Structures are given as C-alpha cells and as structure tokens.
Amino acid sequence: MAVLQFLQDILSEPAFLIGLISFVGLVALRSKGHKVLTGTLGPILGYLMLDAGAGVVVTNLTPLAEMIEAGFNITGVVPNNEAVVSVAQELLGVETMTILLVGMVANLLIARFTHYKYVFLTGHHSFFMACLLSAVLGSLGMAGWELILIGGFFLGSWSAISPAIGQRMTLKVTDGDDIAMGHFSSIGYYVSALIGKVFGGKSKSTEDIQVPEKWSFLRNTTISTAITMVVFYVVAAFVAGPDFVGQLAGDQNFLVFAILSGLKFAVGVAIVYAGVRMILADLIPAFQGIATKVIPNAVPAVDCAVFFTYAPTAVIIGFIASFIGGVVGMLILGAVGGVLIIPGMVPHFFTGATAGIYGNATGGRKGAVLGAFVNGLAISFIPALLLPVLGDLGFSNTTFGDTDFGVIGIVLGQIGNWFSGIGVYVLAAALLVILVVPSFIRKSDRAINNPEWDE
C-alpha cells in the first residue's frame, strides 16, 4: 500500500509528471547526464513556479469575490474545482484515485497505438475529471471495478480526444509551437475560437493595440495587469464598504488592503509567465525523445496558463469579458428562477483569459471579447445544469467550474438516467470507435489534426 500511495502521489503531482515525461524523453534521445539532470529539473521547477504564481492569483482573487458578493448582496453556488473535489474526497477518495491511475495508463496506451497521440500532462485536471466521473457514474449505481474501468476509460479517452479536437486552433495560438491544450475547459476555448472566426472579421490582434508614447508603460504586461486589477479591487472595496473589507484586511486600512491585493495579483501573474517560459524551454526539446522513440509523433497537452505568454493583452481582455458574461449569466438564471451561479473569479480568470487568447487567434480583438464573453455565459449555465447529476455532491455550495467537466457530467448523467448502465456502455463503445477508426483510414503517422505547420 505504501508503494501504491507513493506512485499515486507522484502521478497526481503535475510537476513530477512533467519532469518524468521530460526525463524519459531526454533518456530516449541519449542526452548526456548533465543535460538529463537540468532538462528534468527545469520543467519541474517551472511548473512549481507556475503553481506558486497561480496560488498567489487564487489567494488574492478570493477576497475580491467576497467583496463583490457582500457589496452587491448576492448568495448562491460558487463554481470552484478545488472546493468541490475536497468535498468529494470524503465520499469517493479511493474511487477517484484508482480512476486517475487507470485513466493515465489508458491515455498513454491510446497515444501509443492510435492516431490520437496527445499525452495529457495537466495532472490536477486529470484528478478533477476522475473525481467527476466517480461521482456521476457512482450516482448511476456503478461500483467497484466496473466504476473504475469505465471511469478510467472515459478519462483516458477524453485526455487524448479533447486536445485533438482543437489542435488546428491551438497551432494558430502558438504560431506553430508543437504543443496542445491539456485543460478540461477546452470546449469553451474551441467555441471561443469558432466565434472569433465567424464574427472577428478583419479585427486586429489584441497584441497590436496602439498605445500613445505617454502610455507606453502599459505595454509592460505586469504593469498593465497591476493597474487594471487595482481598479477592480478598489471599486469592489468601496462597494463592499470599509467595515466588511476590514474583516478581510485585519489591522490594515481597507483601501491599502485593496491596492496591495491588486498588486499581488499582478505579481502572481508575472510568476506564472516566468514558470511557463521555464517549462517550455526544456519540455518541448525533451519531448522530441518521446515523439521519436517511445510514442512516435506524440504531442504534449499542457495547462492553459502555458498559453498566456502568446497573447498577454488578450489574457486581461478575456478575463474581464468572461467575468461580465458570468454576471449576465447570473442575472438570467436569477430571472428565470434557476440556481444562482455566482461568477467564480478563479475560473473566470484562467478560462476567460484562455478563451480570450483563442478568440484573438482567429478573430482579433472582437474574437477575444465575444469568445470570452460566451465562455462566461457557458460557465454560468453549464454548472447549473450539472448540479442535479452529481448525486450527494450536488448538495454542497460549490460545483465544477469548467466547461468540459459540466458537458461530460451532463452527457453521462442524462444518458445514464435515460438508458441506465447500457447507455453508458454504448457511449463507451462509440468513443472506442472514434479512437480506432482513424487508424484504418489515415496514412499519416502524425497525430490527428496536427499537420506540418506551413502557414
């Protein structure tokens, strides 16, 4: 059991997972010992830096959300993956971890033997999806090895299929860098890219925004992020009032607390950017070893924050547009008498920013704004529809916040409710067909939807 727990902890820790992939790739390339050491540690340290920056962002988003809730007197369900998973572990801890392990193995086997050669490296999202699957399938009456094998197959399959669906869009975002989207809000990102393609027209990129000389300091991403967020925090602090903010600030003046929180948020984003650069510097070269020796033509599917450096301005625009969409979605749900989904600052920042990047890649500024706004609507309505299929978890005051979790959970839950277990097996068979058929009709050995970049 101790060895199993050790392996579970290693495989559920994204930093070690990325380092392990990099190590295998460098060994496969027969790199020298010192290059294996630095090439393995680089992605690990880079991810830990990214994670630390994300932690700073999340920590400072929490009081902003509380100030907004208090200032505008709203209560309801706040989507937050970490929160709902912590609740679920009390009920489904063993099932979640075993589904996670089976799912990771299934992803590697699919990447090795099919044309879906995408290796999903965002371990914490795999963990969240394993938790969702254990909850939904468990509420349908599945248990034991049936639950573990079916859940693991769905996890492994979606880990390979979801990056493939939007890989051509992802290549536009990265300008040909051979990485894929490894984040389970991918449906929202791809929809944003499609919206940008349809409605963006000839809109210029967010990164081409002309700034007068006297405002040239705004080209510094950290500075512009700091100014934007300080405005957000100060407005929220005044709306919530000094008494309420004082409870969050302790001995600090409420206005000083708001300003510092906005500045710390910007620091967190800067740390994320630095970590991303460190990951990519070592991971992509090392992954060539995986792609040539272990899993031919494999493509690493990485966390959404890795894409922030490709369009830093779109990150802020996407976050704001997504949050506005979340507010509109909340108002609509309130008007129709539905469950009130309060905009969660964490999902709106990370998924809204990424939706903005994808919308910008296909439709410029219009695509970034419209795509992220629709993402905000989606992560309001989808979590509301997901709550009924979560079984006992549906009674908590939080739920999963990203599009893929909601869509997968709703589809599985409804099919199971309509057709019982047979419906779930039919869906699994359909996924198996989707995975296998391209192997018989495609001549190229490259990953599906990952052509040579020649545009």
Q: Work out the pLDDT band at 198, boundaries 50, 70, 90.
A: very high
Burial (CB count within 10 angstroms: exposed 0-12, middle 13-18, buried 19+), residue 343: buried
- Name the amino acid, one letter, at 373: F
Cα(228)–Cα(170) distance, rounded to whole angstroms? 27
Tell me if 426 sits within 8 A of 419, measured CB to CB: yes
Contact 104, 156 (CB under 8 A): yes
Q: How crowded is the C-beta side of 49, counted as CA atoms within 13 Å?
A: 20
pLDDT grade for 454, boundaries at 50, 70 and 90: very low
Q: Which pLDDT score is estimated for 64? A: 80
Q: Which of 140, 224, 160 is nearest to 448 (CA)?
A: 160
Decide: helix, strand or coil at residue 454.
coil
Helix (H, G, I), strand (E, B) or coil at 76: coil
DSSP per-residue letters across 247-282: HHHTTS-HHHHHHHHHHHHHHHHHHHHHHHHHHHHH
Structure tokens at 62: 């929490």
Average pLDDT on 434-441 reads: 89
CA atoms of 78 and 397, how far apart (whole Å): 7
Q: Which of 450, 108, 439 has its CA nearest to residue 290? A: 108
Q: How far is CA 118 from CA 104, 131, 180, 302, 428, in A?
A: 12, 22, 8, 10, 19
**Mean pLDDT over residues 299-303, rounded?**
91
pLDDT, tens only, 40-96: 898 889 888 877 887 787 788 778 878 877 887 776 676 767 667 666 665 666 777
Q: What is the DSSP letter of 341?
A: B
Separation between Cα atoms, residue 311 and residue 270, nearest integer Å: 14
Q: Which of 282, 295, 299, 298 is nearest to 35 (CA)?
A: 282
Residue indicated by tokens 């800067």: 270
What one-letter code names the amino acid at 107? N
Cβ of 448: how many Cβ atoms within 10 Å?
22
Under a CB-based contact definition with an 8 Å cutoff, are residues 188 and 403 in contact?
Answer: yes
Distant-in-sequence, close-in-space partners of 285: CB < 8 Å, separation ≥ 6? 39
C-beta separation of 339 from 385 below 8 A: no
Q: Give the pLDDT of residue 126.
A: 86
Start-to-end CA distance of the chain, whole Å, equals: 52
Question: What does the alpha-carbon distance between residue 367 and residue 115 come to, in Å, rounded to a whole number?
Answer: 31
Banded pLDDT at 185 (limits 50, 70, 90): very high
What is the layout of strands, in order, in the sheet containing 299-302? 118-120, 299-302, 180-181
Output the six-digit token pair for 325.
């969409």
Distance, in Å, from the CA atom of 151 to the CA atom of 62, rounded to the nearest integer, reads 32
Give the pLDDT score at 288.
Answer: 67
> Hey, what amino acid is at 162?
S
For residue 258, what are its two tokens? 């708001």
CA distance 207 to 102: 42
How many whole angstroms separate alpha carbon 102 and alpha carbon 34? 33
Residues 328/354, Cβ–Cβ less than 8 Å: no
Asked if residue 408 lies in contact with residue 128, where contact means CB atoms within 8 angstroms, the answer is: no
For residue 185, give the DSSP letter: T
Nearest to 266 by CA among 306, 315, 310: 315
Task: Please give the Cα distance from 44 to 42 (Å, whole number).
Answer: 5
pLDDT band at 171 (very low <50, low <70, confident <90, very high): very high
Higher pLDDT pick, 112 / 218:
112
User: At 360, is the pLDDT very low, low, confident or very high (cuts 50, 70, 90)?
Assistant: very high
Angle, CA 199 vertex, CA 319 and CA 194 arms, to 5°: 70
At 307 the pLDDT is 93
User: C-alpha angle 260/262/263, rounded to 5°?
Assistant: 65
**Distance between CA atoms of residues 236 and 68, nearest Å:** 6
Closest listed residue to residue 361, CA positions, set 150, 171, 155: 171
The mean of the pLDDT values for the chain is: 84
Mean pLDDT, range 371-393, rounded to an integer: 86
pLDDT at residue 445 is higher than 90: no
Instruction: Tell me what pLDDT residue 202 has.
Output: 80
* CA dist., res. 341 & res. 247, Å (int): 25
Contact (CB, 8 A) for 409 and 131? no
Q: Tokens in use for 82?
A: 């970490």
Q: What is the pTM of this model?
A: 0.80
